[in-house]
C-alpha cells in the first residue's frame, strides 16, 4: 500500500478538520468561505454541443447532485444560450468532488458553490472591468480587418474604425500598399481577458497620399467625429446600412432578375452578408412601415428630412421595439439581414427615394453638417490638442475625464 494511503487511513480526523463546516441554509443569501488548499483548481471549457448537465457529469458530479447544481444555475440565466467554449473554472476536493464552479460570460460570471450537504448557492456577478487607453498603428497590410487582427485586437475595433472614416475612404476598394493608420481607443479588460472596446477617441489615416484625421467630441449632448478644423465627418446619410459587407448588385434600370429570369429595374443596392448581420438606418428619421411587403419580404421603411425615404428589404427579423411612428437615429439597428421574400440567399436590398423618385443610394447624402463655431469650437480645440498629444506621445499623455468620459492613470503604448 502506498505511503499516502496509510496517512489517509491513520489520520481521518486530521483530514476532516481541514474541511470547512457546512453553512446553514437561511432566507438570506448563503456565503461560502474561501476554499482551503486541498480544493484543487481546474479549468476547462464548455464543448460545442455540450449541455450544462453533461459538463457537470464530466466534472464528476453524480446525476442526483447534478440536478441540484443545474436547478440553481437555471435560476440565474438561460443555460440553452451558453456559447461553445465558455471558459469554466472550478475547485474540486482532492481534484474529484466539485465544490465551486465559475462560468465566465464576458462581463459577467456565474458562480455556483457548495455551501453544505445538499446546499448549492448561485450568484451572477459583474466581473471587474479595467478600462485603459491604448495607441496602436502601422501600415495597413492587405485589409483593415487583417491589420487589426495582427495587432492582437478583435474585428469589433476594425468595424469601429471603418465607421469613423466611412465617408472619407471605401475600405473595400480604396486601400493602397503604402497606406497607414494610427488609433487611440479605450480597451476594456477583466483579469487580463479582452472584453471589448469603449469609443475610438482619435485616429489618423493616410490613404493615397492624403491624411485624414478624426477626433471624438460631444456637442449638444451628441458624440461625433470631427476633422482637425471642427468639420463633422458625419454626413446626412451613411454610405452603407451595413458596417462592412460586399456589394453584389447595384442600382439599375434593367437587370436580369435572379429568380424571375427576366429584365426588370433594380432600384436598390444589394449587400451580401451573413444572416443575422445588424442593419442600421442610414439617417435620422421616422419609421413609416415595418412588415411583410411582397417580394421584398420583411421590410422596414423610414422617412427622412428633405423628402427622402429609405427601405431595407429581405430582413430575417426586426429590431426589438421597432414600430411605425418610432423615431430612429443614424446608425441605430432596425433589423437583421435575412432572405425573406424573393431572395436566393441572405442579403440586404437597400433603396432610397426622394418625393417618390428612385435614386441611386451610392450617390446621395454626401453633404456634411455645419462646422463647430464659437465656444464649441474653442472647447473642441482644447480636446483635440489632448488627443493629438496622446497619439504622438502616448506614454506622457493625460486626458481629462470631464471631456472624454474616461479616467486615465497612465497611457501605455501597446
Nearest to 312 by CA among 358, 254, 352, 276: 352
Which helix (H) or strand (E) covers residue 404, if one does?
Answer: helix 401-404
Q: Which of 104-113, 122-131, 222-231, 339-348 has the highest mean pLDDT?
A: 222-231
Residue 156 has pLDDT above 80, yes or no: yes
Which pLDDT value is given to residue 49?
Answer: 87
pLDDT band at 259 (very low <50, low <70, confident <90, very high): low
What are the pLDDT digits (tens) for 182-199?
999 998 888 777 888 889
Determine the pLDDT at residue 39: 58
pLDDT of residue 46: 87
Evaluate if residue 409 carries a pLDDT over 90. Answer: no
Taking the C-alpha atoms of residue 218 and residue 223, their distance in angstroms, rounded to an integer, is 4
pLDDT band at 84; cut points 50, 70, 90: confident
- Given a cut of 60, is residue 14 above it in pLDDT? no
Average pLDDT over residues 356-361: 87
Q: What are the domain boundaries of the chain?
A: 32-126, 130-234+370-404, 246-363
Q: Does residue 401 register a pLDDT over 50?
A: no
- Which H or E element spans position 376? helix 374-392
Q: Is the pLDDT of residue 266 over 80?
A: no
CATH fit for domain 32-126, picks 2.130.10.10, 3.20.10.10, 1.20.140.10, 3.10.450.350: 3.10.450.350
Q: Which CATH number fits domain 130-234+370-404: 3.50.50.60, 3.20.20.105, 3.10.450.350, 2.30.290.10?
A: 3.10.450.350
Q: What is the mean pLDDT of residues 138-145?
A: 86
Average pLDDT, the chain: 80
CA-only gyration radius of the chain, Å = 28
Is 70 exceeded by the pLDDT of residue 111? yes
Q: What pLDDT sits at residue 374?
A: 93
pLDDT average, residue stretch 244-263 = 53
Q: How far apart are the C-alpha atoms of 174 and 45, rounded to whole Å?
A: 41
Residue closest to 377 by CA, chosen among 195, 226, 265: 226
Cell numbers placing 182: 494610427
Tens-place pLDDT, residues 215-242: 999 998 888 999 999 999 988 888 788 8
CATH for 246-363 is 2.70.70.10
Check residue 403 and give its pLDDT: 38
Please, which pLDDT band fits residue 16 given cuts at 50, 70 and 90?
very low
**Residue keyed to cell 489618423:** 204
Question: Bigger pLDDT: 4 or 96?
Answer: 96
pLDDT exceeds cutoff 70 at 248: no
Which stretch of 49-53, 101-105, 129-133, 297-301 has the lowest confidence by average pLDDT?
129-133
Question: Same CATH fold, 130-234+370-404 and 32-126?
Answer: yes
DSSP 318-340: EPTT--TT-EE-TT-EEEEEB--
pLDDT mean over 323-341: 93
Q: What is the mean pLDDT of residues 166-178?
A: 78
- Residue 290, judged by CB atoms within 10 A of its CB (0-12, 13-18, 19+), counts as buried
Confidence band, pLDDT 50/70/90 cuts, at residue 8? very low
pLDDT score at 237: 87
| CB neighbour list of residue 208: distance below 8 Å, 6 or more residues apart | 174, 176, 179
Q: Which of 35-39, 357-361, 371-375 has the highest mean pLDDT?
A: 371-375
Amino acid at each position: 500500500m502506498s505511503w499516502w494511503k496509510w496517512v489517509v487511513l491513520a489520520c481521518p480526523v486530521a483530514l476532516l478538520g481541514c474541511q470547512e463546516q457546512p453553512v446553514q441554509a437561511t432566507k438570506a443569501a448563503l456565503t461560502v468561505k474561501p476554499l482551503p488548499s486541498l480544493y484543487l483548481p481546474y479549468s476547462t471549457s464548455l464543448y460545442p454541443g455540450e449541455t450544462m448537465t453533461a459538463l457537470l457529469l464530466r466534472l464528476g458530479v453524480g446525476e442526483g447532485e447534478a440536478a441540484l447544481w443545474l436547478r440553481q444555475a437555471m435560476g440565474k440565466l438561460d443555460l440553452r444560450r451558453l456559447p461553445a467554449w465558455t471558459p469554466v473554472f472550478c475547485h474540486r476536493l482532492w481534484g474529484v468532488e466539485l465544490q465551486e464552479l465559475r462560468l465566465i460570460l464576458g462581463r459577467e460570471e456565474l458562480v455556483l458553490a457548495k455551501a453544505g450537504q445538499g446546499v448549492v448557492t448561485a450568484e451572477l456577478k459583474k466581473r471587474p472591468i479595467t478600462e485603459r487607453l491604448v495607441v496602436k498603428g502601422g501600415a495597413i497590410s492587405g485589409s483593415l480587418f487583417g491589420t487589426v487582427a495582427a495587432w492582437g485586437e478583435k474585428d469589433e475595433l476594425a468595424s469601429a474604425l471603418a465607421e469613423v472614416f466611412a465617408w472619407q475612404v471605401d475600405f473595400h476598394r480604396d486601400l493602397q500598399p503604402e497606406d497607414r493608420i494610427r488609433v487611440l481607443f479605450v480597451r476594456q479588460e477583466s483579469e487580463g481577458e479582452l472584453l471589448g472596446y469603449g469609443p475610438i477617441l482619435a485616429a489618423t489615416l493616410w490613404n493615397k497620399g492624403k491624411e485624414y484625421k478624426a477626433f471624438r467630441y460631444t456637442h449638444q449632448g451628441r458624440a461625433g467625429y470631427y476633422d482637425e478644423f471642427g468639420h463633422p465627418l458625419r454626413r446626412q446619410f451613411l454610405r452603407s446600412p451595413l458596417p462592412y459587407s460586399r456589394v453584389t448588385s447595384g442600382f439599375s434600370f434593367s437587370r436580369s432578375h435572379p429568380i424571375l429570369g427576366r429584365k426588370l429595374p433594380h432600384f436598390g443596392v444589394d449587400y451580401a452578408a451573413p444572416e443575422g448581420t445588424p442593419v442600421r438606418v442610414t439617417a435620422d428619421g421616422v419609421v413609416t412601415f415595418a412588415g411583410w411587403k411582397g417580394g421584398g419580404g420583411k421590410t422596414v421603411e423610414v422617412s427622412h428630412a428633405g423628402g427622402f425615404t429609405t427601405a431595407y428589404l429581405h430582413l430575417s427579423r426586426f429590431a426589438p421595439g421597432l414600430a411605425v411612428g418610432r423615431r430612429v437615429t443614424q446608425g441605430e439597428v432596425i433589423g437583421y439581414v435575412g432572405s425573406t421574400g424573393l431572395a436566393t440567399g441572405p442579403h440586404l436590398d437597400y433603396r432610397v427615394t426622394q418625393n417618390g423618385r428612385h435614386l441611386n443610394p451610392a450617390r446621395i447624402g454626401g453633404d456634411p453638417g455645419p462646422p463647430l463655431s464659437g465656444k464649441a469650437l474653442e472647447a473642441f480645440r482644447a480636446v483635440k490638442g489632448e488627443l493629438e498629444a496622446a497619439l504622438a506621445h502616448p506614454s506622457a499623455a493625460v486626458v481629462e475625464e470631464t471631456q472624454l468620459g474616461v479616467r486615465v492613470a497612465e497611457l501605455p503604448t501597446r
